Amino acid sequence: MAPPIADTTAPAADSNGTPAPSIAVPQKADPIVNGSVASSYPDKYFVATSEMAQLSLPADSVPYVSGSDSSPELPRRRQPSQRIADDTVMFDPWCDPANPRTLHFQDVCEAAYKIKSGIMSTPCTRSYISEECNMQLFFKKDYMQYTGSFKERGARYTLMMLTADQRKAGVVAASAGNHALALCYHGRELGVSVTVVMPIIAPIMKVQSCRNFGANVIVRGDDLAQSKEIAMTMAKEDGMMYINGYDHPNILAGQGTMGLEMMEQVSNLDAVVVPVGGGGLIAGVALAVKSLNPNVLVIGVESEKCASFSAAVEHGSPVHTRCHSTLADGLAVPLVGVNAFATAAPLIDKMVQVSEEQIAISILRLVEVEKAVVEGAGACGLAAILSGALPELRGKRVVVPLCGGNIDTTILGSIKDIMHERAWIRNDIYSVEVKVVAETINAAETYRLRDALCTAYEFVRFGPVCGTYD
Ligand SMILES: Cc1ncc(COP(=O)(O)O)c(C=O)c1O
């Protein structure tokens, strides 16, 4: 069973141990009581001081925040300042490395009760690949949630647990995909103003979907780390709560509800094989499963391109890990969550890593055999099984969450159409003329593509550039 909650003394110093006098932080972090986080924070988390004033907007900043006009009840927000965030701004009192929180089973049970009416209890059905894998394999189909991933569980629960003042101030998050979609959708459902900062590499489709939910969507930051800085700066400036998508205690509790459902849906379960990014999903699921039956094996799967949880296990605590681009973009988290690690690490029996090829094969097998469109991160559990890395599961009853279906079409499907033309090429039977319709993320990318084509090929006719960019 999980150890008790660590002493959650107030964040009186930053991560370097330097006192943080410029921002009034709560004197005692929120203990988790009866499954909910009982707030002992003042109405506003942070009290502005003269130093905070430096964070204010430059007068000449260009507006770029875009929200849907169809949701007048959700106020539009101004843009964040250009300032580079310092350690104080980047400190999240909910996810304090000096005081990691370990979740309790009761937290997951309360989350399950609270989100029941707003989240789909997804099917967990026997897979057609069972025989091929020599086990009784069940897929927990969370890609069927409304926004296509399990992230809705934690997002909804966290939004439901906001105090009246927190609801009024709204929430902010940084995400390239599933967490953003989940927050934007449930924010609209629950009447909470949501701001999401998405990196410029975020798939166009996901950015647009977030906007369609009426959220304030800011596309800024070369990567998620930069987007997070912007989001946390906004949180401090505007008094919004920053919601870490894989480490806020209520996010973990919400994700754990998937584990409760697995235990309910599959009798005599022997093992679960769970994809690991920041660690929030496996923390919640492991807690639920092990609490109900400590004999169930909990196996975590990472992309070998970003093995940050394994690195944390080796190091003894979360540690920055180099990540490379991966088909499992949802798992590309260089630093796992402190609460997630504290909760999950003692409960995980084994970690395995999967290659890009194994992930790609799993995505294809799921389409072919299960008729399921599952994104790279969501296919990693099956990838681990197909890779042969888990021989101990032969003959066992195993659940694999297919936890997301939002395939990044900008990466996997940026080529919208290809037409081959041979009929009118007379001189050279080895040549072909190709007409390509491609989608790019912005104008700069379009012209980079044109330059690359012109460098590589003798005859290039670059057609009209259609559509709009932010
Ligand atoms: C589809 C999918 N699966 C798994 C994960 C991993 O979840 P966590 O970051 O909580 O470990 C993510 C994270 O975004 C995801 O989107």
CATH at 283: 3.40.50.1100
What's the mean pLDDT in 119-140?
A: 97
Domain-located, residue 202: yes
- Between 59 and 351, where is the model more confident? 351
- pLDDT at position 82 is 52
Instruction: Give the whole-number percent of the chain exceeding pLDDT 70.
Output: 75
Q: How confident is the model at residue 438 (pLDDT cuts 50, 70, 90)?
A: confident
- Residue pLDDT, tens place only, 246-259: 999 999 999 999 99
Cα separation, 309 vs 448, in Å, equals 35
Total structural domains within the chain: 3
Residues 370 and 403 grouped into a single domain: yes
Q: How confident is the model at residue 233 (pLDDT cuts 50, 70, 90)?
A: very high
Residues 260 and 379 grouped into a single domain: yes
- pLDDT at position 79 is 57
Distance 275 CA to ligand 1 centre (A): 7
- pLDDT at position 270 is 98
What's the mean pLDDT in 103-131?
A: 98
Nearest Cα residue to atom 1 of ligand 1? 404
- Is the Cβ atom of 67 under 6 angstroms away from ligand 1? no
Residues 136 and 85 grouped into a single domain: no
Domain-located, residue 7: no
Residues 81 and 206 grouped into a single domain: yes
Domain end position, chosen among 384, 409, 434 = 409
Q: 45 pLDDT exceeds 50?
A: no
Domain-located, residue 2: no
- pLDDT at position 95 is 97
Q: How confident is the model at residue 310 (pLDDT cuts 50, 70, 90)?
A: very high
Q: 456 pLDDT exceeds 80?
A: no
Residues 157 and 268 grouped into a single domain: no
Q: How confident is the model at residue 154 (pLDDT cuts 50, 70, 90)?
A: very high
Distance 179 CA to ligand 1 centre (A): 9
- Between 437 and 459, where is the model more confident? 459
Q: 129 pLDDT exceeds 50?
A: yes
- pLDDT at position 420 is 64
What's the mean pLDDT in 398-416?
A: 76
- pLDDT at position 205 is 81
Residues 287 and 399 grouped into a single domain: yes
User: What domain range is 133 assigned to?
Assistant: 105-146+251-409
Q: 168 pLDDT exceeds 50?
A: yes
Distance 278 CA to ligand 1 centre (A): 7
Q: 241 pLDDT exceeds 80?
A: yes
Instruction: Give the whole-number percent of the chain exceeding pLDDT 90.
Output: 63
Q: How confident is the model at residue 441 (pLDDT cuts 50, 70, 90)?
A: low
- pLDDT at position 119 is 98
pTM, two decimals, is 0.74
Domain end position, chosen among 242, 274, 290 = 242
Residues 78 and 141 grouped into a single domain: no
Domain end position, chosen among 180, 209, 242 = 242
Q: Which atom of ligand 1 is nearest to the CA of 279?
A: 11
Domain-located, residue 13: no
Domain-located, residue 100: no
Q: What are phi and psi of 405, to 5 degrees?
A: -120, 10
Highest mean predicted confidence (pLDDT) among 55-69, 317-331, 453-467: 317-331
- pLDDT at position 84 is 54
Domain-located, residue 12: no
The 3-state secondary structure of the chain reads CCCCCCCCECCCECCCCCECCCCCCCCECCCEECCEECCCCCCCCCCCCHHHHCCCCCCCCCCCCECCCCCCCCCCCCCCCCCCCCHHHHCCCCCCCCCCCCCCHHHHHHHHHHHCCCCCCCCEEECCCHHHHCCEEEEECHHHCCCCECHHHHHHHHHHCCCHHHHHHCEEEECCCHHHHHHHHHHHHHCCCEEEEECCCCCHHHHHHHHHCCCEEEECCCCHHHHHHHHHHHHHHHCCEECCCCCCHHHHHHHHHHHHHHHHHCCCCCEEEEECCCCHHHHHHHHHHHHHCCCCEEEEEEECCCCHHHHHHHHCCCCCCCCCCCCCHHHCCCCCCHHHHHHHHHHCCEEEEECHHHHHHHHHHHHHHHCCCCCCHHHHHHHHHHCCCCHHHCCCEEEEECCECCCCHHHHCCEEEEEEECCCCCCCCCCCEEEEEECCCCHHHHHHHHHHHHHHCCCCCCCCCCCCCC
What is the average pLDDT score of the chain? 81
Instruction: Give the least confident one: 51-55, 155-159, 428-432.
Output: 51-55
What's the mean pLDDT in 442-463?
A: 79
Residues 275 and 216 grouped into a single domain: no
- Is the Cβ atom of 331 under 6 angstroms away from ligand 1? yes
Distance 343 CA to ligand 1 centre (A): 16
Residues 297 and 396 grouped into a single domain: yes
Distance 341 CA to ligand 1 centre (A): 14
What's the mean pLDDT in 287-303?
A: 98
Q: What are phi and psi of 436, to 5 degrees?
A: -120, 135
Q: How confident is the model at residue 412 (pLDDT cuts 50, 70, 90)?
A: low
Which residues share a beta bridge with 32?
37
- Is the Cβ atom of 178 under 6 angstroms away from ligand 1? yes
What's the mean pLDDT in 356-379?
A: 94
- pLDDT at position 63 is 28
Q: How confident is the model at residue 393 (pLDDT cuts 50, 70, 90)?
A: very high
Residues 292 and 222 grouped into a single domain: no
- Is the Cβ atom of 281 under 6 angstroms away from ligand 1? yes
Q: 208 pLDDT exceeds 50?
A: yes
Domain-located, residue 15: no
Highest mean predicted confidence (pLDDT) among 46-60, 249-263, 446-460: 249-263
Residues 183 and 316 grouped into a single domain: no
Contact status, residue 30 vs residue 37, Cβ threshold 8 Å:
yes
Domain-located, residue 16: no
Residues 110 and 77 grouped into a single domain: no
